[in-house]
A = this chain, B = another copy of it.
Amino acid sequence: MYQQTTIEIRTSGRESRDITRDVQDAVAASGITTGLAHLFLQHTSASLMLCENADPTVRADLERFMQKTAPDGDPMFRHDDEGPDDMPAHVRTVLTQSDMTLPVGNGRCLLGTWQGVYLWEHRHAGHRRRLIVTVQGD
C-alpha cells in the first residue's frame, strides 16, 4: 500500500524548522502500521536534516558551520543570479539531503529519543517549500 501526499511549508528565511509533527501526522493519516515513510523536498536550495532536538544551540552551531564552509558571497562562486546566498544554498543542499526514509512501526516513525526531522531553509528570503511524503507498508 502506498499513500502519497504533498505538504506545503512556508519558511521565514534561513532557518531550520522542526517538521517532525507534520511527518508523524502524515504517517498516522496513512493508516499504515509497519513499513517506511519517504520524504522528498522538491527544491535545490533547501534540504532535510535529522538533528538533535533538545538544545537549539546545536542547530545554531550547524548554521554557523555551514556559513563558514560555504560563505555567502564567496568570490569562488560564479552563480549568483539570485544573490550572494544563491550558490551557498545549493552547496548546503548537496552536503545534506533532499530525500530521507524513516522506518515506521506501530503507526509512527521510529525516531530515536533525540532525533527530530528538520526542513533547513538555506535562502535568506522566505519560500514556499513542497515536501512529498510517501508512506508504504501494511
- Chain A residues at the B interface, C-beta cutoff of 8 Å: 2, 4, 34-36, 38, 40-45, 49-52, 55, 57-58, 60-62, 64-65, 68-70, 76-79, 81, 87, 90-91, 93-103, 105, 110-115, 130, 132, 134, 136-138
With A35-B134, A90-B51 known as contacts, the answer to whether A40 contacts B103 (CB < 8 A) is yes
Residues in chain B near residue A112, CB distance under 8 A:
41-44, 130
With A60-B78, A61-B79, A94-B96 known as contacts, the answer to whether A132 contacts B110 (CB < 8 A) is yes
Residues in chain B near residue A61, CB distance under 8 A:
76-79, 87, 90-91
Q: Is the CB of A115 within 8 A of B42?
A: yes
Shortest beta-carbon distance, A98 to chain B, in Å? 5
Q: Is the CB of A99 within 8 A of B101?
A: yes
Apart from A4-B103, A44-B52: 18 A-B pairs, beta carbons within 8 A: A2-B138, A36-B38, A36-B134, A38-B103, A40-B103, A43-B114, A44-B112, A50-B94, A57-B79, A60-B78, A60-B79, A62-B90, A62-B94, A65-B70, A95-B96, A97-B97, A101-B101, A136-B136
